[in-house]
Amino acid sequence: MQTSSDLAVSVRDLSKTYRLGERDVLHGSLRDAIVRGARAALHLARGAARPDREELAALGGVSFDVPRGEVLGIIGRNGAGKTTLLKILSGVTDPTSGEALVWGRAGALLEVGTGFHPDLTGRENVFFNGAILGMKRREIQRKFDEIVEFAEVERFIDTPVKRYSSGMQLRLAFAVAAHLEPEILIVDEVLAVGDAAFQRKCLGKMGEVSGQGRTVLLVSHNMSAITSLATRCLWLDQGRVRDLGDPAQIVADYLSGDAVSAQPGFADLSDPKLRDGVPKQTSKEVLFDWVRLVDDEHKPSDVFFEGDPLTIELGLESTIDSRRLEVLCFVRSLQGVLVFTLTSGLLEVDLQPGPAELSVTIPRNQLRSGRYTLDLYLLTAQPQDYLLGAKTFEVVVSPEPGGDPRRVRDDLGLVSVAQEWGELRQGTPNRV
Amino acid sequence: MEAATVRVEAHVIKPAPRRPRLGLSEVWRNRELLWFFAWRELKVRYKQTLLGVVWAVIQPIMYMVVFTLFFGRFFETYSVGPYALLALSGSVIWLFFANSVTLAAGSLVGNASLLTKVYFPRLLAPLAPIIAALVDLALATLVLLAVMAGYGVFPAPQRVWTAIPFVLLAAGTAAGVGAWLAALNVKYRDVRFVVPVLLQLWLFFSSVFITFEALNLPEPWATLYWLNPMAGVVEGFRWAMLGGVRPELWHIVLASASGLVVLVSGLVYFKRLERTFADIV
């Protein structure tokens, strides 16, 4: 049990209930309200119970503590209550019951560019957006040049933002957000938008300014962001806490559960439409039927940790006899960069009509965290089948024990290689 | 801030209390943000317009012209000067009120995306357009002074300052009515249709194109007339600018008291509903 002085946020039995159809009911006209009121009065007069309205519990009794300095990742499916939780903590909406205690200045970022007005110039929007996010005028003035430089929009700062490209708008909005300095930062999915390079720049900026002691609550569907940034992870499921603890463990459970797809790690490749538009002539006598990714415990999964083993199992369907078989697996980053290719070489086989299976294991996958796709190519004497984007999977960081996860970089390239560093030597000039 | 050594008081988030509050201290603490809201309101209003802030003075001048065309001949005996001045002075202060109420009433719905994405004292939304309207009022008042000078009428230096409390009464009443309508508008979009009708009717009872004196009302109507805060505002503002018959003090007290009731009730109602805005807007 932590003493309260170590805590930044304490949430106790927090619930939020929406009346179903509340929007419709309340958006109804005044006349409807009067009619409804009269009906209700009539019901009461007759001694009848008021008809129960259906209720939806967006949050059903959530409790957890966030120590100061912690980065709490919050994951869960759509509708699990993540955003509702953040909205309550940031004061946008009220809980129905329970309470939350917040120590220190909290700044919430539920949306990028809150209050941006298309007719206002970049400069004007920076000031209003900064103010609404909780910055003082002097603070904005002090950081203004930095924000503009960060957003890379110097030349257009006095142009209405409606003339900006969407990328420029986003960068400017991000730039303001990245310069927030609350003690507790509450961030919704906002980092999911925008290009990856700029996101990284923002995360880096946030980390850099914060120094120590900044508490972050971060909602994300991006599992790499969770495992690389969070010190702990909260898994919300249908408005309740499903699990709370080590991010790597919880992310793995979340992804291998029913959370993502009915059959994790598996893709059915039998649909001929998957071959449409492929820029290679193929005979299609031997086809890929399915692909499955499994981890070292033979558990199918869409997510792998850096450095863990990864096995690709391939199901084939042949209509011919063949003594030769060759398979290539191209691993590409989401940006389309070919990272490496697994090549079977020419295999001497005795392939007969019917199904067949083949697998390849990477004992220690050297991919860095990120999303990757798999292209598959199959040849006998001639090209037989070629599939683009047959399977997508994700590699996540497993934080070093005791290391500060905020210091885990995710901009170090696509692969890690084995390396040995020499000792630091001083005072011995060794230049030849 | 030395967060490491000095322990800050916990901010407690709980279900909304039922106890009515005004929330004015929170507005005061966030006065800088209020200024930003008002500044944004002004900036946005005149962006990409040909005439820009000139619009702030076109409206009262049009009112003046129309009123003078239709009612001018009945008022040849207005003591201070031409009827046009009566109409313009009334229109200037009335339009400040009417525009404030209209913009305040739509302020929450118009800022729905802000309401659902970020916390700020909700009262800032209806208050900001009123502050912004003060700028328009200042411009319109300059035009009034210019027109007065054109007719050879000059405000008495020792009296003209008394316009300020009347402007404040108008602003307070607008804040009260605006708070009522803005909060209602979140729930019932009917408000959009109610506002123009309400303001049109209200105009007729507010001495905008006529004077209380000229109305020559019998009792009890003569007393009830001053329950309308805007009657006090228009009569008072006109007297401060032009002179003429001074409104009786107790009439002004009556109008101010009723303005205060509107303001406080509006703020209380607004405050009671404020926590639900984000859920239903």
Residue A36, in any domain of the structure: no
Q: Is the pLDDT of residue B56 over 70?
A: yes
Pairing mode, if any, of strands A7-19 and A55-67?
A: antiparallel
**At A43, is the pLDDT very low, low, confident or very high (cuts 50, 70, 90)?**
low
Q: What's the confidence (pLDDT) of residue B1?
A: 36
Number of domains in chain B: 1
Across the interface, which of B113, B117, B280 has its CB nearest the CB of A26? B280
Residue B4, in any domain of the structure: no
For residues A357-367, average pLDDT: 92
Q: Is the pLDDT of residue A214 over 70?
A: yes
> Could you report the per-residue pLDDT of B59-94, keeping only the tens digit for each?
999 999 999 898 887 776 666 778 889 999 999 999
CB A60 within 8 A of CB A15: yes
Domain residues for the domain of B220 are 24-280
Q: Are residues A249 and A296 in the same domain?
A: no
Q: Are residues A245 and A301 in the same domain?
A: no
> Could you report the per-residue pLDDT of A79-97, keeping only the tens digit for each?
788 989 999 998 888 899 9
Q: Are residues A281 and A370 in the same domain?
A: yes
Q: Are residues A243 and A284 in the same domain?
A: no
Q: Are residues A226 and A314 in the same domain?
A: no
CB A325 within 8 A of CB A344: yes
Number of domains in chain A: 2
**At A1, is the pLDDT very low, low, confident or very high (cuts 50, 70, 90)?**
very low
Domain residues for the domain of A198 are 4-17+57-256
Q: Are residues A241 and A375 in the same domain?
A: no
Residue B231, in any domain of the structure: yes
For residues B241-264, average pLDDT: 92
Q: Is the pLDDT of residue A397 over 70?
A: yes
Residue A49, in any domain of the structure: no
- What is chain A's mean pLDDT, rounded? 81
Q: Is the pLDDT of residue A334 over 90?
A: no
A35 touching B, CB under 8 A?
Answer: no
Bigger pLDDT: A342 vs A250 = A342
Which of A224, A256, A288 is the last residue in one of the domains?
A256
Residue B13, in any domain of the structure: no
Q: What is the CATH number of the domain that holds A114?
A: 3.40.50.300
Q: If we measure between CA atoms, which residue out of A292, A291, A294, A296 comes closest to residue A309?
A: A296
Scanning A129-148 for CB atoms below 8 A from B yields 131-133, 136-137
CA-CA distance, B231 to B18, in Å (whole number)?
34
A274-283: b or e for each residue (b if 16 or more CB lie within 10 Å)? bbeeeeeebe
Which of A256, A275, A297 is the last residue in one of the domains?
A256
CA-based torsion, B100, B104, B110, B116: positive or negative: positive
Q: What's the confidence (pLDDT) of residue B92?
A: 96
For residues B36-61, average pLDDT: 86
Residue B173, in any domain of the structure: yes
Residue B275, in any domain of the structure: yes
Determine, for residues B47 and A99 on separate chains, whether the beta-carbon distance falls below 8 Å: no
| Shortest alpha-carbon distance between residue A173 and chain B (Å) | 14
Q: What's the confidence (pLDDT) of residue A6?
A: 83
pLDDT above 70 covers a percentage of chain B that reads 94
> Could you report the per-residue pLDDT of A107-122, keeping only the tens digit for each?
888 877 777 888 889 9
Bigger pLDDT: A325 vs B216 = A325
The residues facing A14 across adjacent strands are A62
CB A72 within 8 A of CB A233: yes
Q: Are residues A153 and A300 in the same domain?
A: no
| Shortest alpha-carbon distance between residue B30 and chain A (Å) | 10
Q: Are residues A280 and A202 in the same domain?
A: no
Determine, for residues B11 and A102 on separate chains, whether the beta-carbon distance falls below 8 Å: yes
Angle at A214 between CA A212 and CA A218, to 5 degrees: 135
Scanning A316-355 for CB atoms below 8 A from B yields none
Determine, for residues B113 and A183 on separate chains, whether the beta-carbon distance falls below 8 Å: no
Q: Are residues A203 and A280 in the same domain?
A: no
Which of A232, A256, A280 is the last residue in one of the domains?
A256
CA-CA distance, B201 to B220, in Å (whole number)?
20
For residues B226-250, average pLDDT: 92
Residue A419, in any domain of the structure: no
Residue A68, in any domain of the structure: yes
Maximum average pLDDT range among A262-266, A396-400, B54-58, B250-254: B250-254
Q: What is the CATH number of the domain that holds A288?
A: 2.70.50.60
| Shortest alpha-carbon distance between residue B17 and chain A (Å) | 10
> Could you report the per-residue pLDDT of A282-306, keeping only the tens digit for each?
888 999 999 999 988 888 888 888 8
Among the listed ranges A144-153, A252-261, A331-340, B266-275, which one has the minimum average pLDDT value? A252-261
Residue A192, in any domain of the structure: yes
